[in-house]
Amino acid sequence: MPEFAARRRRLMSQMGRGSAAVFVSAQESNRNGDVDYPFRQDSTFYYLTGFEEPNAVAVLRPGHDEPFVMFVRPHDPEQAIWVGPRAGVEGACERFGADAAFPIEELDEKLGGLLSSATTLYFPFGEVEHSHVEPLIARHIARRRAAAQRGMAPLEDVRDPLPLVDALRVVKSRAEVAALQAAIDATGAGLVAAMRATRPGLHEYEVQAILETEYRLAGSPRDGFPTIAAAGEHSCTLHYTANRARIEDGDLLLLDTGAEIDYYGADVTRTFPANGKFTSAQRDVYQIVWEAQAAGIARVRPGVTFHSVHNAALKVLVQGLIDLRILRGSVQSNIERDAYRPYFMHGTSHWLGLDVHDAGIYRANGKSTQLVPGMVLTVEPGLYLATDAPRVPKRLRGIGVRIEDDVLVTPSGRRNLSARIPSTVEDLEAIVGQG
């Protein structure tokens, strides 16, 4: 609870006095018939409240006697028989630190009063899950406009709170790094178990099952995103999630996966030969990606730009494509012409945290974001030599390699939080199929 309270305090100090913010929880969503999708709280709502139930609203009012007000589903003995108890109005105060709490049914009636003294209102318009609250906010704005004509304090400004929250979310606290490390360690256990078990003849979904079994056994209630288990040519499909194919002798297997613990998700990719031995063509490609990744990771430190991590990895990849005789000319000219794009078509990094592609901006006013201690980013270069890609020699066709680690920016440089998960050719050949 102190962690969530500290986040709210930090946000409220930036919002300033005379303002109020309204945040809305995720909603339950029907899957089919009487079955809903498993519920997961909206990341921003969780970040600010720690509250894991749907149909809730949080109001923040800096400088007010009751700065944190929640609207939640009240206790319901009938519902509790089926799905267990809710925190209820009492729990919102006692367990989640609300200064006041009301049944969600009273939102319409009470919201206007709570916001009436604010001159700046923060609300993230446009989010699909907020559509049921937007009309209440719109009505409040209209009423304030009318009231201002009668001499009441006007609502001067309506702003989006997400840039403020996202700027907080992009720099992780110790508790957040600890949760990420737990998720990464669970992911490592899964990847090592999957490497040991892999052999030709298994199916992609069987390896996926091994990964996800380890995650659950490590205390991860769900994955952060759908597992990519891509054998052979499927490794060239960036977000392949069908995972139905048989793994053949001679295939590479690309696993891009992440357990989630306490809402923080890992995002790690390993690519290895299903039979435990890289072919010379596979090793050539793998080694280029490995060195590109090492160059990207080495670049991570406070003060350098997000984009320069990409540039460091990209130069190595392009030199590799020239060495493989897929590209011709200089590294620089190939980068200027985007000639590498058919083989490397995604960014090298993204922020990592509550969302796998986490909150935080990458560029503002034409300038790439500078890294500061506490940021966590992936470093994930790849080469994808699909059979229909241009100028790929026969021996390299169908090879897709991505290597992805999760890197914390520290005051002195970086810590690769997933470094313990095997990724060198030697380590992979020693482990694959040995289980």
3-state DSSP call for residue 182? helix
* Shortest Å distance, C-beta 223 to ligand GLY: 10
Nearer to ligand GLY, 337 or 357 (CB): 357
**How far is Cα 73 from Cα 58, in angstroms, rounded to an integer?**
12
* Smallest distance from Mn ion to CB 350, Å: 6
Is residue 355 a contact residue for Mn ion (CB under 5 A)?
no
225 binds, among ligand GLY, Mn ion, none (CB under 5 to 8 A by kind): ligand GLY
**H or E element that contains 313:** helix 306-323
- Which residues of this chain interact with ligand GLY, rule CB under 6 A? 225, 256, 267, 350, 356, 380, 404
Q: From start to end of 283-379, where are the E strands?
A: 363-364, 367-368, 376-379
The DSSP bridge pattern shows strands 19-24 and 376-379 to be: unpaired
Looking at residue 217, the DSSP 8-state letter turns out to be H
Residues in the chain: 435
Nearer to Mn ion, 204 or 267 (CB): 267
Interaction residues for Mn ion, span 249-268 (CB under 5 A): 256, 267
Quick one: DSSP state of residue 246?
B
Stretch that binds Mn ion, among 4-12, 175-183, 331-339, 400-408 (CB under 5 A): 400-408
Taking CA atoms, 133 is separated from 8, 310, 404, in Å, by 21, 40, 39
* Torsion angle of C-alpha atoms 360, 361, 362, 367, degrees rounded to 10: -140
Residue 175 beta carbon to Mn ion: minimum distance, rounded to whole angstroms: 22
Q: How far apart are CA 300 and CA 410, in angstroms?
A: 9
What does 223 interact with, of ligand GLY, Mn ion, none (CB < 5 to 8 A by kind)?
Answer: none
Nearer to ligand GLY, 275 or 348 (CB): 348
Instruction: Compose the 265-284 pattern: x for residues touching Mn ion by CB under 5 A, - for all others.
Output: --x-----------------
Residue 207, CA distances (Å) to 164, 200, 216, 227, 229 in order: 41, 11, 15, 10, 7
* Least Å from the CB of residue 187 to ligand GLY: 11
Which region among 102-110, 196-204, 372-380, 421-429 touches Mn ion (by CB under 5 A)? 372-380
Residue-wise burial string across 145-169, b where 16 or more C-beta atoms lie within 10 A, e elsewhere? eeeeeeeeeebeeebebbebbbebb
Q: How far is the CB of 381 from ligand GLY (least distance, A)?
A: 11
Q: Of 225 and 286, which has the nearer Cβ to ligand GLY?
A: 225
406 binds, among ligand GLY, Mn ion, none (CB under 5 to 8 A by kind): none
Active site residues: 34, 239, 256, 267, 346, 350, 357, 380, 384, 402, 404
Distance CA 225, CA 47 (A): 18
Cα 389 from Cα 285, distance rounded (Å): 15
Q: Which residue is nearest to ligand GLY (CB)?
A: 256
Q: Looking at 38-46, 167-175, 285-293, 401-409, which segment touches Mn ion (CB under 5 A)?
A: 401-409
Name the binder of 214 from ligand GLY, Mn ion, none, CB < 5-8 A by kind: none
* Binding site partner of 299, from ligand GLY, Mn ion, none, Cβ cut-off 5-8 A by kind: none
Name, in order, each residue with C-beta under 8 angstroms of 126's C-beta and a sequence gap of 6 or more: none
Asked if residue 378 binds Mn ion (CB under 5 A), the reply is: yes
Whichever of 50 and 265 has its CB closer to ligand GLY, that residue is: 265
Footprint of Mn ion on this chain (CB under 5 A)?
A: 256, 267, 378, 404
